[in-house]
């Protein structure tokens, strides 16, 4: 199985670039949205100083073997509009998790999240050789659960009292996954979703 290394993944609406410090100014213009962080397990990045600290830590994850964070960069504007990550990677067990995904409000309910997942799933199964890609979300976050299910992931169950959130809430976590055997069907599903005219990004 291939190792997790920095790579740029290119789609129609966006590209996923390895997260870097130069993305800070772009991301800071989109992070001051309280709703974006309500269910996030890792941080609340509304404040620019908190965003900077998080970014400085995140960009070192590949060297520490902790994960691979990406900036979501609009193909139209060339500006970063959010972030997502691979983490919990195991070459031995051929699995990886996708998460820590957030987008600026103008790109909610556009093709950006779908295309980002399509690129990440494709790289995981077709390049890294994964048997399993998993995703998880807060049990309170029904919108996220619906979005993950719409991608074609299978809901596996609930991990009770799984995490302590940054606000102290003890979170139940809903786990989803896609396996290598399921990927060809999911790929067709996602490609069909991305081919719809209504998926264009905002100006």
Nearest to 15 by CA among 73, 70, 54: 73
CB 155 within 8 A of CB 57: no
Mean pLDDT of 39-64: 89
Both tokens of 124, joined, read 């995981």
Both tokens of 145, joined, read 């659960």
Is the pLDDT higher at 166 or at 132? 132
Give residue 200's pLDDT.
45
Give residue 40's pLDDT.
84
Q: Is 50 exceeded by the pLDDT of residue 29?
A: yes
Mean pLDDT of 146-153: 95
pLDDT tens-digit series, residues 115-141: 999 999 999 999 999 999 999 999 999
Give residue 60's pLDDT.
94
DSSP designation for 44: -
Domains delineated in the chain: 9-196 (3.40.630.30)
DSSP designation for 202: P
Mean pLDDT of 36-49: 82
Both tokens of 134, joined, read 């998993």
- % the chain with pLDDT above 90: 78
pLDDT tens-digit series, residues 66-85: 999 999 999 999 999 999 99
Nearest to 62 by CA among 128, 122, 4: 4
Give residue 201's pLDDT.
47
Give residue 1's pLDDT.
60
């Amino acid at each position: 199985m291939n190792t997790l290394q920095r790579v740029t993944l290119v789609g129609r609406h966006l590209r996923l670039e390895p997260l870097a410090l130069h993305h800070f100014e772009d991301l800071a213009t989109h992070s001051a949205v309280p709703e974006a962080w309500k269910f996030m397990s890792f941080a609340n990045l509304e404040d620019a100083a908190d965003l900077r600290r998080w970014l400085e830590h995140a960009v070192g994850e590949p060297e520490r073997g902790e994960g691979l964070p990406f900036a979501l960069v609009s193909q139209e504007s060339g500006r970063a509009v959010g972030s997502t990550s691979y983490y919990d990677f195991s070459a031995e067990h051929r699995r990886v998790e996708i998460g820590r995904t957030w987008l600026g409000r103008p790109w909610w309910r556009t093709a950006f999240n779908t295309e980002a997942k399509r690129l990440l799933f494709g790289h995981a199964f077709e390049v890294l050789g994964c048997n399993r890609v998993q995703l998880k979300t807060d049990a309170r976050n029904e919108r996220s659960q619906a979005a993950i299910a719409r991608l074609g992931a299978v809901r596996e169950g609930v991990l009770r009292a799984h995490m302590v959130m940054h606000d102290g809430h003890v979170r139940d976590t809903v786990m989803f996954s896609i396996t290598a055997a399921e990927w060809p069907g999911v790929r067709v599903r996602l490609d069909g979703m991305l081919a719809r005219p209504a998926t264009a990004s905002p100006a």
